[in-house]
Amino acid sequence: MIDPPEDRMKPSTSHEPDSFFACSNCGATHPRKGFPFKCSKCGGHFDFIEPLRYEQPAPASQEPGISRFSSSFPLHPEAEFLSLGEGDTPLIELKRGARSVFLKCEHLNPTGSFKDRGTAVLISALRSEGVTVALEDSSGNAGASFAAYAARAGIEATVFVPDYASGPKQAQIQAYGARIVRIPGPRSAVTEAVQSEAEGEGVYASHAYLPHGLAGMATVAYELVEQLGRAPGAVVTPVGQGTLFLGLYRGFLALRQAGVIAQLPKMVGVQAQACAPIWAVYNAGAAGLGWVREGLTVAEGIRILHPIRGDRILEALDDSGGLMVAVDEGTILPARDELARQGLYVEPTSAVVWAALSQCSEQLEDPVVLVLTGHGLKSAPSA
Q: CB-wise, 44 or 57, nearer to Zn ion?
A: 44
* Binding characters for Zn ion, 299-328, by CB under 5 A (x = yes): ------------------------------
**Tally of CB atoms within 10 A around 26:** 12
Residue 1 CB-density burial (10 A; 0-12 exposed, 13-18 middle, 19+ buried) = exposed
Residue 22 interacts with Zn ion (CB under 5 A)?
A: no
What's the closest the beta carbon of residue 24 comes to Zn ion, in angstroms? 8
Nearer to Zn ion, 45 or 107 (CB): 45
Choosing from 3, 8, 12, 42, the residue that interacts with Zn ion (CB under 5 A) is 42
Residue 45 CB, nearest distance to Zn ion (Å)? 8
Closest CB to Zn ion among residues 41, 76: 41
The number of angstroms, rounded, from the C-alpha of 18 to the middle of its chain's C-alpha atoms is 27
Could you tell me the sign of the dihedral formed by the alpha carbons of 40, 41, 46, 48, in that order? negative
DSSP string, 73-135: SS--TTPPPP-SS-----EEEEEETTEEEEEEEGGGSTTSBTHHHHHHHHHHHHHHTT--EEE
**40 is an interface residue for Zn ion by CB under 5 A:** no
Size of the site for Zn ion (CB under 5 A): 8
Residue nearer to Zn ion on the CB measure, 39 or 105 = 39
Per-residue buried b or exposed e for 331-352, using 16+ beta carbons within 10 Å of the residue's own CB: bbbebbeebeeeebbbbbbbbb
From candidates 12, 18, 26, 287, binder to Zn ion by CB under 5 A: 26
The amino acid present at 188, given as its one-letter code, is S
Q: Would you count residue 41 as binding Zn ion (CB under 5 A)?
A: yes
Query: How far is CA 343 from each of CA 8, 80, 92, 337, 340, rounded to the nearest angstrom?
Result: 41, 37, 10, 10, 5
Q: How far apart are CA 342 and CA 334, in angstroms?
A: 13
25 binds Zn ion (CB under 5 A): yes
Q: Which stretch binds Zn ion (CB under 5 A): 27-35, 94-102, 183-191, 297-305?
A: 27-35
| Binding range to Zn ion, per CB under 5 A, among 36-44, 90-98, 284-292, 365-373 | 36-44
Applying CB under 5 A, which part among 44-52, 56-64, 67-75, 191-199 lies near Zn ion? Answer: 44-52
Residues making contact with Zn ion (CB under 5 A) = 23, 25-26, 28, 39, 41-42, 44
